[in-house]
Chains A and B, each alone.
Chain A
Amino acid sequence: MLAMAASDVVVIIPAHNESATVADVVRAVRAEGFPVVVVDDGSTDATGELAEQAGATVLRLVVNLGVGGALRCGFRYAVENGYRIAVQCDADGQHDPANIRALLDAMSTEHADLAVGNRFAGDDAMEISRSRRFAMRVLARAAKRATGQPIEDATSGFRAIASPLLGEFAREYPTQYLGDTFEALVASARAGYRVVSVPTTIHARQGGVRSATTPASLAFLARALLVVKLRIGIRFRSATEVEGCRSEG
């Protein structure tokens, strides 16, 4: 992990038809002093325009790529523009921008490459259905087994990523549902990057809809577990390998 300055950090918000909430989220993040990039993932409403008016840089995907695709585009923007840390945050108002500093602080003090916001550790822990809690427990256990690191909330989309892992995310990133959270986390840890869990506040969704139905979520859960178990998912290069490639180039 590297020493950070505020100008090294950019907040990436993937958004698909989030016109009801995106402007407020952008303003809240900017109030924390961070630049914001909204990746408009093929929205058919005014998400991009509203985000821009609220002060965000907007990357417009002409085709809907899903959260993982939108995030990779954001990571590429971060790398191309010299940012060394990217924070990913949802556009629906669930993540509290005031917690961004907690992610960055944890990253700095614990020398982490990836800080994952834990939605179940705070006083106002998120209320979720029994089936969803079960799925999250299964994933958390699988993540712990695969990485050897205690990750309580393996599907949290509130994260901070530092270079050189950020460069790996920009190069290749899982795009399927749960791929962008669970699989990316496991792949990061397997490549030797340090992952830490940080208690964060979670709010009720201010707008938008869940991206997957329950049967679809179960199918994605089975798929994600299979990918991790069989090691057929994306493989990130370790920090040493990245450094080696850089010096060769």
Chain B
Amino acid sequence: MGYSQPLLLGSLGLLFALSIVVLARLQLLTLRYTLGWFLVALTIGASEALTGLAEPLADALDIRPIKLLLGLSLTILLLIAVQLSITASGLIQTLRTLTEAHALTDERIRRLEQATGGDASASSTANDKPVPS
């Protein structure tokens, strides 16, 4: 096998880690995700060494070390994907709530401006009974 495979995997891991640093410096990734993706980069870079470490467990489970590592890597990626889905779902909810709150506040401001003779863009023919809570 020689050194070519560990070198290739190490270089890939390093390149991935550098990309994560650049993204983090550009403020495109939060610390939480930077650390998560760093873990993935580390796994890629050190996968040759990890294969050796995984051998006893793979032997005990009667599977090949590379398959064990592949399974673990996929599990990590799956967990990150699920975590991202949870975050995205939460953000969608937040966006919806903020958008609704903005619309309700905007309407109240326009109504107040109208009542106080301010710079209201609202028409004077609007409904006669909104009763502010």
Binds A, one of B7-15, B50-58, B93-101: B93-101
Select the residue from B106, B123, B132, B133 with max chain A CB neighbours within 10 A: B123
- B1 at interface by CB-CB < 8 Å: no
Q: In the complex, which residue of chain A has the Cβ closest to the Cβ of B128?
A: A35
CA distance A60 to B123 in the complex (A): 14
CA distance A55 to B127 in the complex (A): 6
- A56 at interface by CB-CB < 8 Å: yes
Binds B, one of A72-80, A104-112, A214-222: A72-80
Q: In the complex, which residue of chain A has the Cβ closest to the Cβ of B129?
A: A35
Q: Is the CB of B103 within 8 A of A56?
A: no
Q: Is the CB of B99 within 8 A of A69?
A: yes
CA distance A77 to B102 in the complex (A): 12
> Which residues of the partner chain A approach B95 to less than 8 Å between Cβ atoms?
63
For window 47-68 of A, CB contacts with B under 8 Å fall at 52-63, 65
Task: Indicate whether A73 sits within 8 Å of B127 (C-beta atoms), given known contacts A52-B122, A81-B132, A175-B96.
Answer: no
Count of chain A to chain B residue pairs whose CB atoms are closer than 8 Å in the complex: 72
- A82 at interface by CB-CB < 8 Å: yes
CA distance A36 to B127 in the complex (A): 7
Interface residues on A, range: 20 to 34
> Which residues of the partner chain B approach A44 to less than 8 Å between Cβ atoms?
none
CA distance A76 to B103 in the complex (A): 11
Interface size of B in residues (CB-CB distance below 8 Å) = 21
- A7 at interface by CB-CB < 8 Å: yes
Q: Is the CB of B133 within 8 A of A61?
A: no
Interface string of B68-98 (1 = CB under 8 A from A): 0000000000000000000000000001100
> Which residues of the partner chain A approach B133 to less than 8 Å between Cβ atoms?
80-82
> Which residues of the partner chain A approach B104 to less than 8 Å between Cβ atoms?
59, 73, 76-77, 80
Task: Indicate whether A35 sits within 8 Å of B99 (C-beta atoms), given known contacts A53-B123, A53-B125, A55-B125.
Answer: no
Interface string of B103-133 (1 = CB under 8 A from A): 1101100010000000000110111111111
CA distance A43 to B99 in the complex (A): 14
Give min CB distance, B98 to chain A, whole Å.
9
- A39 at interface by CB-CB < 8 Å: yes
Q: Is the CB of A77 within 8 A of B107?
A: yes
> Which residues of the partner chain B approach A61 to less than 8 Å between Cβ atoms?
99-100, 102-103
> Which residues of the partner chain A approach B122 to less than 8 Å between Cβ atoms?
52, 58
Q: In the complex, which residue of chain B has the Cβ closest to the Cβ of A66?
A: B96
> Which residues of the partner chain B approach A77 to less than 8 Å between Cβ atoms?
104, 107, 130
> Which residues of the partner chain A approach B125 to less than 8 Å between Cβ atoms?
53-55
Task: Indicate whether A57 sits within 8 Å of B99 (C-beta atoms), given known contacts A73-B104, A77-B107, A80-B104.
Answer: no
Q: Is the CB of A35 within 8 A of B127?
A: yes
9 nearest A-B residue pairs (beta carbon): A35-B127, A73-B100, A59-B103, A55-B125, A52-B123, A57-B127, A80-B133, A82-B131, A63-B99
Q: Given A52-B123, A55-B127, A65-B96, 12 other A-B contacts at CB below 8 A?
A: A37-B127, A39-B103, A56-B126, A57-B127, A59-B103, A61-B103, A63-B99, A69-B96, A69-B99, A69-B100, A81-B131, A81-B133
Binding site for B on A (CB under 8 A): 7, 30, 35-37, 39, 52-63, 65, 69, 72-73, 76-77, 80-82, 175
7 intermolecular pairs with C-beta atoms under 8 Å apart = A7-B129, A30-B127, A35-B128, A35-B130, A61-B103, A76-B100, A80-B104
Binding site for A on B (CB under 8 A): 95-96, 99-100, 102-104, 106-107, 111, 122-123, 125-133
